[in-house]
């Protein structure tokens, strides 16, 4: 009993000590948990501010750069601006995020695109009559692009406006100020393009601000209704007009207070549970610390890693490449950036689905990782675009050798689910520091080199040169001219007769497109078709040719003229257009023209680009009743085995074989053999380039079915074709 009494005070002391210890430990844990929450929230805020700043930076940088582009265009045209609407439309469509673009000669706004809704701004003097005239005059004096805002607009709304001063004959004695080019971005639309409003609804606060152009204070562009909290994170937006800052915060004082109250309460309660409570309190901070580390690592991984291929992403490249380049510069290292994408990868997604396409991208990523060295870095830039930074190389030749390895690795067939895919890639190489030190310049130059590689025919690499900038501009100019020609309906169709060599009757025609240029006159296809094919506009132009040709057949029928078979040339890009067949069907129904009056001509080379796709498409067209012709036969690389498997109705013998047929025995033998071979395969034959009666007679003796050439007629307008007289041979004239 005495021992029990002795033990009782001791037990009370132990329990009291344990209780005090656990309460103290619980207080420490509560404070540690609060610090962990603060750290976790800070990590989340850092990730949010970086991601939202990146979204704003991309949108604003593109919009601001467009003002500078517009100023260059005005300088190029020596102040004339009839091109403004079409060019501004192209800029807005290609860049995005721009509400309108303005030109203000001598500071007076004269042109706005789009004009609808902005009419009240026309005639506004932005140099003298606006609250920001001092800033605008500063831009004119310094010849630098500036941004002003937030600006209440006379046409309504609040916006950020970029103004780029335009000087004609810069650097010359007759240099003169022309005016200002401006781009306008509505602040509400800019913020709506991010997740800032959603974050505000979730309890976050934000503020987007910029330094004042000529004062120390800063200018708030947009902010949440609630002021910034104590816990905040800021990220900078590096723009052509300076550095702006986005700050995102969150008020967590109530959350921390609640957490501390609960922690201390739990500590007191659990203190009574002695060792069990002590054990639980000891391991709880460890669990929380591990959870915080896992969450932080997950956020970093999410921000910097591509979820599909597990490669570093574009954001990783943007954040880490500058530091890598700086270290390489200190060590006098030569580096290279290779920018590339997979040729025609969209076809895989369109034909077998995005799931298979994603698996193909994963395999390509694994192959690229296997090629890289210790100092190299592979990144997925988005879609089917990849980049490789060669961190330490000795020469340009080493970069080109690595590019060759990529070409071979990508071209190696991929076998997946009993299917085999053979891919190719086009690569652009920019050397560092020769072609730039900063990320933007390096990627722009590598992208231009990539575009040049695609122009050369894809499945190859191209090293950046300064001339590529000029070529890129010329390509954009040519594409713009073609687009304008399509909009202005400057193209016309001419028709060259096709005739039966046995009956002397015109049985059809080949439709040949001409460009009736307002300044240069009639331009032949060899001058603009290559540009249309390179820029992808050949599909739109081809649609116009098909519809115009079918409409012409309908007009002939309405006028009571005899039926003819009209042949229209197809390009390889049209064969790859998934909407091509439905487009043709729709036009035949719309104009009530029988399919048997329509024929399509395609060269051997275009067929061989994707013979499986070509065979399937041509078979569908033939089943509709459309005549399928192989154009320029004998100049390509087709074989008899391929020819017999293609749904061909007509072979067109190239004019080079017909030209010397009456003098050259080899040409005669080749032509006679082609005709005999085609007839054995139940294929009709048409000879191109007939210019003499002797050529006609010899081809007729060889049992050639049809002909085409200057002997009967050059390509003529629809009106002249309809009025053409019957064929009369010169030896039959009396």
HEC secondary structure over 653-718: ECHHHHHCCCCCHHHHHHHHHHHHHHHHCCCEEEEECCCCHHHHHHHHHCCCCEEECCCCCCCECH
Q: Which two tokens stand for residue 527?
A: 């001058």
DSSP conformational letter for 275: H
pLDDT(483) > 50: yes
Q: Which two tokens stand for residue 297?
A: 């690592």
Structure-block tokens of residue 264: 């201390």
440 φ, ψ to 5°?
-60, -45
What are the structural domains of the chain?
Answer: 1-304 (3.30.450.350), 314-461 (3.30.70.270), 490-724 (3.20.20.450)
As a whole number of angstroms, the distance between CA 671 and CA 389 comes to 55
Cα dist. 526→61, 514, 523, 656 in Å? 39, 10, 8, 17
Q: What is the pLDDT of residue 705?
A: 95
Lowest mean pLDDT among 251-260, 396-405, 503-512, 567-576: 251-260
pTM score of the predicted model = 0.46
The pLDDT-based confidence of 250 (bands split at 50, 70, 90) is: confident
Q: What secondary structure does DSSP assign to 19-60, as a single string?
A: HHHHHHHHHHHHHHHHHHHHHHHHHHHHHHHHHHHHHHHHHH
Runs of H (alpha helix) within 202-312: 253-271, 275-304
Which of 11-15, 282-286, 363-367 has the lowest average pLDDT? 282-286
Over residues 580-600, the mean pLDDT reads 94
Question: Rounded mean pLDDT of 427-456?
Answer: 86
Cα 257–Cα 259–Cα 262 angle in degrees, nearest 5: 110
Place of tokens 């309809």: 722
For range 551-560, the mean pLDDT = 94
Tens-place pLDDT, residues 196-215: 888 888 888 888 888 876 66
% of the chain with per-residue pLDDT over 90? 22
Rounded average pLDDT over 620-624:
92
d(CA 262, CA 265): 5
Report, as an integer, the average pLDDT of 416-424: 80
pLDDT tens digit sequence for 686-719 = 999 999 999 999 999 999 999 999 999 999 999 9
HSE-up (13 A, CA, CB side) for residue 140 = 19
- Using an 8 Å Cβ cutoff, are 63 and 162 in contact? yes
Stretch 441-449: mean pLDDT, rounded? Answer: 87
Q: Residue 324 class from Cβ within 10 Å (0-12 exposed, 13-18 middle, 19+ buried)? A: middle
| 373, pLDDT greater than 80 | yes
Higher-confidence position of 290 and 376: 376
The pLDDT score that the predictor gives to residue 4 is: 40
| Confidence band of 19 (pLDDT split at 50, 70, 90) | low
Rounded Cα gap, residues 679 and 146, in angstroms: 73
Q: Which of 505, 586, 508 is nearest to 543 (CA)?
A: 586
Contacts of 567 (CB under 8 A, 6+ apart): 498, 508, 509, 510, 511, 599, 600, 601, 627, 629
What are the percentages of helix, strand and coil residues in the chain, rounded to 5? Answer: 50, 25, 25
Query: Strand order of the sheet with strand 218-223?
Result: 218-223, 204-211, 242-250, 231-239
What pLDDT does residue 457 have?
A: 81
pLDDT in tens, 70-120: 888 888 888 888 888 888 888 888 876 788 888 989 888 888 988 888 888
3-class secondary-structure state, position 618: helix
Q: Predicted confidence band at 5 (pLDDT cuts at 50, 70, 90)?
A: very low
Average pLDDT, the chain: 83
Assess whether pLDDT exceeds 50 at residue 247.
Answer: yes
Please give the average per-residue pLDDT across 254-260, as a whole number. 76
Q: What percent of the chain has pLDDT over 70?
A: 89
Mean pLDDT within 228-238: 85
Confidence of residue 531 (pLDDT cuts 50, 70, 90): confident
The confidence score (pLDDT) of residue 610 equals 72
Kindly report which listed range (37-41, 51-55, 300-304) carries the lowest average pLDDT score: 300-304
Looking at residue 626, its pLDDT comes to: 94
Beta bridge partners of 421: 414
β-strands 684-688, 650-653: how paired? Answer: parallel
232 pLDDT tier (thresholds 50, 70, 90):
confident
Q: Per the structure block, which two tokens stand in for 499?
A: 């005739």
At residue 13 the predicted structure's pLDDT band, cuts being 50, 70 and 90, is low
Q: Is residue 590 over pLDDT 90? A: yes
Q: State yes or no: pLDDT of 8 exceeds 50.
A: no
Please name every residue paired with 239 in a beta bridge, in sequence order, or none if there are none. Answer: 242
**Rounded to the nearest 5 degrees, what angle is found at the Cα of 324, between the Cα atoms of 318 and 328?**
145
């Amino acid at each position: 009993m005495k021992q029990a009494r002795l033990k009782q005070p001791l037990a009370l002391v132990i329990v009291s000590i344990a209780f005090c210890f656990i309460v103290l430990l619980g207080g420490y844990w509560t404070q540690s948990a609060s610090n962990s929450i603060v750290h976790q929230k800070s990590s989340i805020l850092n990730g949010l501010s970086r991601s939202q700043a990146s979204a704003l930076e991309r949108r604003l940088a593109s919009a601001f750069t467009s003002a500078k582009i517009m100023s260059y265009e005005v300088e190029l045209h020596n102040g004339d601006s009839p091109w403004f609407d079409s060019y501004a439309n192209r800029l807005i469509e290609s860049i995005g995020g721009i509400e309108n673009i303005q030109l203000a000669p001598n500071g007076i706004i004269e042109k706005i695109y789009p004009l609808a809704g902005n009419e009240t701004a026309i005639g506004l003097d932005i140099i003298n009559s606006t609250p920001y005239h001092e800033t605008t005059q500063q831009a004119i004096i310094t010849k630098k692009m500036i941004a002003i805002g937030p600006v209440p607009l006379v046409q309504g709304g609040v916006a950020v406006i970029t103004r780029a001063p335009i000087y004609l004959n810069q650097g010359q004695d007759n240099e003169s100020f022309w005016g200002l080019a401006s781009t306008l971005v509505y602040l509400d639309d800019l913020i709506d393009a991010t997740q800032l409003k959603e974050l505000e609804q979730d309890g976050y606060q934000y503020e987007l601000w910029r330094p004042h152009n000529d004062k120390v204070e800063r200018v708030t562009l947009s902010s949440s209704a609630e002021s910034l909290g104590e816990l905040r994170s800021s990220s900078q937006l590096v723009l052509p007009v300076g550095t702006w800052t986005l700050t995102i915060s969150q008020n967590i004082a109530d959350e921390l207070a609640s957490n501390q109250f609960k922690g201390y309460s739990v500590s007191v309660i659990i203190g009574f549970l002695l060792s069990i409570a002590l054990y639980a309190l000891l391991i709880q901070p460890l669990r929380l610390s591990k959870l915080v580390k896992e969450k932080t690592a997950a956020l970093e991984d999410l921000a910097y890693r591509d979820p599909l291929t597990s490669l570093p992403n574009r954001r990783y490249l943007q954040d880490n490449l500058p530091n890598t380049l700086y270290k390489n510069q200190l060590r006098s290292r030569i580096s290279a950036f290779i920018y590339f994408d997979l040729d025609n990868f969209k076809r895989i997604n369109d034909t077998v689905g995005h799931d298979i396409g994603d698996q193909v991208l994963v395999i390509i990523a694994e192959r690229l990782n296997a090629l890289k060295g210790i100092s190299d870095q592979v990144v997925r830039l988005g879609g089917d675009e990849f980049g490789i930074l060669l961190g330490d190389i000795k020469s340009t030749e080493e970069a080109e050798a690595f590019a060759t390895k990529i070409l071979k690795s990508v071209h190696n067939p991929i076998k997946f689910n009993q299917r085999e895919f053979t891919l190719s890639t086009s690569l652009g190489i920019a050397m560092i520091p020769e072609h730039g030190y900063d990320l933007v310049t390096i990627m722009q130059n590598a992208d231009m080199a990539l575009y040049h590689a695609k122009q050369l025919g894809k499945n190859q690499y191209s090293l950046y040169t300064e001339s590529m900038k000029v070529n890129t501009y010329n390509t954009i100019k040519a594409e713009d001219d073609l687009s304008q020609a399509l909009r202005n309906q400057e193209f016309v169709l001419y028709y060259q007769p096709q005739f039966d060599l046995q009956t002397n009757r015109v049985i059809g025609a080949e439709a040949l497109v001409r460009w009736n240029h307002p300044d240069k006159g009639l331009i032949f296809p060899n001058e603009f078709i290559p540009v249309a094919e390179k820029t992808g506009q050949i599909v739109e132009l081809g649609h116009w040719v098909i519809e115009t040709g079918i409409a012409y057949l309908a007009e002939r029928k309405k006028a009571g003229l005899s039926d003819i078979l009209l042949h229209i040339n197809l390009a390889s890009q049209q064969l790859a257009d998934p909407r091509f067949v439905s487009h043709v069907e729709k036009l035949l129904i719309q104009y009530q023209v029988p399919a048997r009056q329509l024929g399509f001509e395609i060269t051997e080379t275009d067929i061989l680009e994707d013979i499986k796709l070509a065979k399937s498409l041509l078979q569908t067209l033939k089943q509709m009743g459309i005549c399928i012709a192989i154009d320029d036969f004998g100049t390509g690389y087709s074989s008899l085995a391929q020819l017999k498997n293609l749904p061909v109705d007509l072979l067109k013998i190239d004019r080079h074989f017909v030209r010397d047929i009456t003098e050259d025995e080899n040409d005669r033998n080749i032509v006679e053999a082609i005709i005999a071979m085609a007839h054995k395969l139940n294929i009709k034959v048409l000879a191109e380039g007939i210019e003499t009666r002797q050529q006609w007679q010899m081809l007729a003796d060889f049992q050639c079915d049809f002909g085409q050439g200057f002997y009967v007629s050059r390509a003529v307008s629809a009106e002249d074709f309809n009025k053409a007289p019957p064929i009369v041979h010169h030896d039959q004239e009396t």
